[in-house]
Amino acid sequence: MKIKSSFGPQYKEFEVGDIVFLAKDKPLKLTSGAEIKNFPLAYQTYGKLNEDKSNAILICHALTGDQYAASTHPITGKDGWWNFMIGKNKPIDTDKFFIISSNIIGGCMGSFGPKEINPKTNQAYGLNFPSVTINDMVHAQNLLIESFGISKLHAVIGGSTGGMQSLAWANLYPQKVNLIIPLATSYRHSPQNIAFHEVGRQAIMADPNWCEGKYFLERKCPTKGLAVARMTAHITYLSEVALQKKFGRNLQNKDNFSFGFDAEFQVESYLHHKGYSFVERFDANSYLYITKAVDYFDLEKDFGGKLSDAFISLAANPQAKVCLIAFSDDWLFPPSEAKKLTHALIACGINVSSIVIESAAGHDSFLIESAALRNTISGFLNC
């Protein structure tokens, strides 16, 4: 099923791709206590589901990602964010596997989120949208998997926020997945990461065009606030080495300072570009809801401070294996986070592999092609 949607400050229409309506008969109860029913989830698939439906892999996207993991994005026209990983003869081989990539609930690319229309008011939900968590996103993904008639996934793979989703799968549906591959992620968000998210949220809400979350009614968009939020976040996605190597203190198209407040350094121009291109494809209210969902995620707290207890049920699945992938210069989710997860999984007797890939691109390294990343995932999927 394909539907059209509107987006961004120009409110352009675009095709969001395949949509399925879930929880038609029984509502999905969210962590907050709210219930949602007959809600849309947008997704893309690659490859073919085999006869016994045993070759399915779920790909979970990062914070501001979407379902277009290996297909052209309808707004930007760019290749999918993991195009180098998914496809024929690629590490996640579409000749062998059936890949499902869905847009999380709370998102803005066709799935149930704050910019969708509330049938009770015939207006966008805005801040009337219910609070969502990582667990809620995974429960919705499970309903999607069930709609395909799939009883067990060959693998769940995700980076960053998607990695949190893969860990939630290990906790919530341990008997429904064989292989779990979390990349550049953690069992919880650190206080520093929460602080960066809060700066972004405050930037959005301080924009006069935010209109208390009702900017759709005014045909406005909090462009400046959302751009600043993205600029702030993007700093955390890169390492100091990456920034130095890419930009240094080089000026943008000039030899001397102008002694003004326009962007003068290349790094400033880069952040401006990232910020203002982001507003063309992402909804401000979705950013508020999703960042909060990430901040709420804490497997250790959920199990009384004992992280290993989160994976006790996974240990009962004899086919379960976990491959944790961290990147050496990722300061958003440093290798120490993966190390603690590894110890927790080992304590449960789970078959776990853990690797730290040498990198020079910071947190975004999981989105950049490398032989180490390709070989690690390909080897684990085919072991």
| Residue 94 pLDDT exceeds 50 | yes
Which of 33-37, 71-75, 247-251, 253-257 has the weakest average pLDDT? 253-257
Confidence (pTM): 0.95
Assign domain 2-190+297-381 one CATH number from 3.40.50.9100, 3.40.50.740, 3.40.718.10, 3.40.50.1820: 3.40.50.1820
State the alpha helices, DSSP H only, in the chain. Answer: 134-147, 161-172, 191-206, 223-237, 240-246, 266-278, 284-296, 299-302, 312-315, 335-347, 371-381
Q: Which residues are catalytic?
A: 160, 330, 363
* Residue-wise pLDDT tens digits, 294-348: 999 999 999 999 999 999 999 999 999 999 999 999 999 999 999 999 999 999 9
**What's residue 16's pLDDT?**
76
Q: Do the strands 177-183 and 153-159 form a parallel or antiparallel pair, or are they unpaired?
A: parallel
Task: Decide which of 13 and 200 is more confident.
Answer: 200
List where CATH 3.40.50.1820 sits in the chain.
2-190+297-381
* Residue-wise pLDDT tens digits, 197-236: 999 999 999 999 999 999 999 889 999 999 999 999 999 9
**What's residue 17's pLDDT?**
77
Q: Which two tokens mark 64?
A: 């501001």
Dist CA 91 CA 216 (whole Å): 41
Task: Decide which of 281 and 13 is more confident.
Answer: 281
**What's residue 47's pLDDT?**
98
**What's residue 9's pLDDT?**
46
Average pLDDT over residues 119-135: 95
**What's residue 257's pLDDT?**
83
Dist CA 93 CA 88 (whole Å): 5
Q: What is the C-alpha R_g of the chain?
A: 20
Percentages helix, strand, coil for the chain (3-state, rounded to 5) are 40, 20, 40
| Residue 353 pLDDT exceeds 80 | yes
List where CATH 1.10.1740.110 sits in the chain.
193-290
Helix (H) or strand (E) holding 321: strand 321-327
The CATH code of domain 193-290 reads 1.10.1740.110
pLDDT band at 258 (very low <50, low <70, confident <90, very high): confident
pLDDT band at 5 (very low <50, low <70, confident <90, very high): low
Going by C-alpha positions, the residue among 134, 141, 180 that lies closest to residue 317 is 180
